[in-house]
Amino acid sequence: MLRMMFLCVPLCFSILLFGQKTLTSIKTLQAPHIDGVLDDACWKQAPVASDFIQNFPSYGSQALVKTEVKILYDNEAVYIGARLYDEPSQIRKQLTSRDGEQRQDVDYFSVFFDTYNDHQNGFQFLVTPNNVQSDAKLNANASASFGDFGDKSWDAVWESKTKLATDGWYVEMRIPYISLRFAKKDLQTWGLQFLRFTRRNNESSYWNAVDPNVSGFINQFGQLKDLKNIQPPLRLSFSPYVSGGIRVNPEGSKKNKEWLRNGGMDVKYGINESFTLDATLIPDFGQVVSDNVVNNLSPFEIQFQENRPFFTEGTELFNKSGLFYSRRIGATPSGYYGVESLVNNSADYEVVKNPTLTQLYNGIKFSGRNKKKLGIGIFNAVTAPMKAELRNIGSRADTVIETEPLSNYNIIVLDQALKGRSSVTFTNTNVVRNGAARDANVSALDLSLYTNDNKFRLQGTARYSKIFGYSLYPSGNINLVYDTMTRLGRVYVKPYDGYNTSLQLSKANGQVRYYAGTSITSNTYDPNDLGYLQTPNLVNYSGGISYNQFKPTAKFITYRYSFDVTTRYLYKPYRYNEMMVSASGFWIFKNFWDVTFTVSSFPTNQNDYFELRTPGKYLKKPAEATFQVEGSTDSRKRLFINYELAYAPRAKADNNYNRTEFGVRYRFSDRLTLSTDVFRQFENNQIGYAFRRESNKEPIVGYRDFTEIQSIVSGTYNFNSRLNVVVRGRHYWNKVKYNSFYNVDANGNTIPRSFIPGSDDNYNAFNLDAFITWDFRLGSRVILGWKNWLGDEYGVNGWDNRNYWKNLNNSLKISHGNEITLRFIYFLDYNQLKKGR
């Protein structure tokens, strides 16, 4: 009998520890005063959530510090009061920018809501000891790994106050219903989770245990029960803005000055309790971080990060099928480079005006989820027709050329949440351009099914694209002509369609995880009018297995081993392309240093059908392997270092590849942080496409010495929780020196040919961005920005400047463009305006 008792005790403790927790909500008639003190009488009636469980570094253990949380609600908001016990001297409280708390020397507390209790969507609200706010929207793929839970570009309007005390620190939050979405019914149950992160020991502890062996995060929430008679409010807010500034752009020996003036408005309107309409009218995206431009020698388009707020906030539904690359909207006009090429190849014309970006007239987003868990999203954006102006040098007559027609971009998404984390999603993207210009339509069906125990997952996708209309001549074509409408010459493209499909089965839970899948992309599948696809015409077969240890051992906090294999064939004709094999190990040591070692290889010869940019022709490349090690030191320390080293010996004796990256961050104080990152890669006798022969347009390849170096220096100074300055400077240098040229035969082999000089390249890019941001009231801010850049037409002579330092020095000396802007945004909430009457 005694033996049975000893067996039952740990079993009962395990059930108590890891069973789903619940908290009964209490409605208050008197809202607490948000001051971080927790002395309001209403807090005494609220039940306490405590007994937090570690997720990291020691899953399953009790949290090392005590946390108590209470929740109240009324007809307008949810209120959270948290008491976070700790020694005052041990509390880490570095000041950061909003949403910038990760990997900084700061503790924080966070609350999560799954307001539909569907394990599919959620909201996060986070605060640090210095009352710096962070928030995010979560989806079914959210993970608890390393604190990155969801879309941090979403900025809600909510209140918080913190207070440091002798027994720790306190948090009070007021989250108004206008910042949430929930069903309209009398009695509700929400998913609920609390997180406390203690920086000094890197401990993440949760109210409801989050098991790293289990896939998913929202599905591991507890529950907030008995929310009674709360009504979704009228969610209507306006954010009008005005901006102004000056841009000075060097052109030849003169500097063109342009006064910048703009004004517009963002509108958010809750159509009902579930759906919201977001609109932006005459937006101004000038105050965003500059792109990391590179000299692209690959056959594939470079994909840039989206930094424009309207296209990052609340777009998770539109991104679910991977068909939305928002940088297509407002991009460089499709005829821009054609105009530049025409002028460069003609002595008769000069450019008067050739806009580099397409103006966005307006954009709207309609999204939400109804009571039957059907998510609906509609996105629409309209861009203006863009026109270049050329001047005949002799006659001084001007010619106007349309470089981009009036265009409409549209997305429709239907996302049905099924039982557990399963879902089925339909997506349609449509691009319609004025006149005879190219139009596009793409449809997709995505299926994600989990077993009841969340252990196995089946994913399937099907996509279909249809293209029709006229296309611009390829950029760089010297035979550009004008039609009667003074547009750039266009060529009619016969309508074509294509498809993509994939299927993958995976084990998503446990220490041992594995997957196997295949995908087919036809040679005519083309989602690139609104999406991004590097290349069609591929058949992939892939599989992999990993072993994950989440509980600490004698030497490691956690570690993981993985092995993956991918084989690729052309779709049409069905021919072998390449095989990739990789094995890696990842370890976090007890001192919180981490290291990853990876060996990846192409064990057989590669038939590269894309490098030559010519259908049907391929370049044969030998087998190769790359050895890579990367890692970082303890990010709690003032000095933090991350690194990456890669080396790839080639079959050719004089062909080797190496890559290094070294980053340093130093925290001078809780307000000031500086960091630098230097990246370098070099390959001698790299083989790649060089140019086409003039006579027959056959591709010519060359062996070249390739050097690429990027240096980034950035700094942040936080005056307080709502005022900060951020500075970022980047210099990029790429040098290409050709040693020999070759023709390529029908079997992909190289044939020596005579050397043709003139293909070497020395490319520099430089950007400096500085922003001072002041959030002077909830939802309202002032931003002062300065941007400095090296113009495309101002190159650095590679013959006289053969190393990085000379290129950097000359990049700083030659003419730069400058832009100074001031932007004022004011948040207006209809409910507050109504109260103020």
What CATH number has the domain bearing residue 174?
Answer: 2.60.40.1190
Q: Would residue 497 count as lying in a domain?
A: yes
Give the pair of three-digit tokens for residue 12.
Answer: 């009962």
- What contacts 421, CB < 8 A, 6 or more positions away? 119, 120, 140, 215, 216, 219, 448, 450, 454
- 488 and 546 share one domain: no
Same domain, yes or no, for 222 and 338? no
Per-position DSSP letters for 462-479, written without gaps between them:
EEEEEEEEEEEPPTT-TT
Shared-domain flag, residues 741 and 769: yes
- 520 lies in the same domain as 538: no
Q: How confident is the model at residue 477, as a pLDDT?
A: 31
Query: Is 728 in contact with 712 (CB distance < 8 Å)?
Result: yes
Structural domains in the chain (count): 4
- For the CA atoms of the chain, what is the radius of gyration? 29
Looking at 173, 205, 228, the residue that finishes a domain is: 228
Contact (CB, 8 A) for 386 and 403:
yes
In a domain, 616, yes or no: no
Q: Quick check: is 619 in a domain? A: no
Euclidean distance between CA atoms 70 and 55, whole angstroms: 21
Dihedral over alpha carbons 307, 310, 314, 319 (to 10 degrees): -60
Looking at residue 475, its pLDDT comes to 34
The phi and psi torsions of 811 (rounded to 5 degrees) equal -65, -30
Positions of E strands within 590-623: 594-602, 606-608, 619-621
Helix or strand (DSSP H, E) at 810 = helix 804-813
Task: Note whether residue 576 is domain-resident.
Answer: yes
Q: What is the pLDDT of residue 8?
A: 41
Q: 51 in a domain, yes or no?
A: yes
Q: Are residues 551 and 675 in the same domain?
A: no
What does the pLDDT read at residue 273?
A: 82
Residues 564, 486 share a domain:
no
**Which of 485, 503, 533 is a domain's end point?**
533
- Which residues make Cβ contacts (< 8 Å) with residue 491, sequence separation at least 6? 470, 471, 472, 473
Q: Where a domain ends, among 533, 558, 589?
A: 533
Q: Is residue 273 part of a domain?
A: no
For 659, half-sphere exposure in the C-beta direction (CA atoms, 13 angstrom radius) is 11
**Three-state DSSP string of 215-267:** CCCHHHCEEEEEEECCCCCCCEEEEEEEEEEEEEEEECCEEEEEEEEEEEEEE
Confidence (pLDDT) at 492? 63
Question: pLDDT tens digit string along 286-343?
Answer: 888 999 999 999 999 999 999 898 898 888 889 999 999 999 999 999 888 888 888 8
Residues 327, 460 within the same domain: yes
Give yes or no: residues 451 and 341 share one domain: yes
Same domain, 569 and 659: no
Q: Amino acid letter at 812?
A: L
Asked whether residue 632 falls in the same domain as residue 705, the answer is yes
Residues 202 and 330 in one domain: no
In a domain, 235, yes or no: no
What number of other Cβ atoms are within 10 A of residue 396's Cβ?
7
Instruction: Using alpha carbons, select from 410, 408, 412, 439 the residue that is nearest to residue 427.
Output: 412
pLDDT beneath 50, residues of the chain? 1-17, 473-489
> Per the domain annotation, does 474 fall within a domain?
yes
User: Which residue range forms the structural domain that includes residue 652?
Assistant: 240-260+624-837
pLDDT of residue 469: 79
Q: Are 728 and 780 contained in the same domain?
A: yes
Name beta bridge partners: 767: 730, 789
| Nearest CA among 163, 202, 162 for reference residue 65 | 202
Longest Cα–Cα distance in the chain: 108
**Cα atoms found within 13 Å of the Cα of residue 389, Cβ hemisphere only:** 5
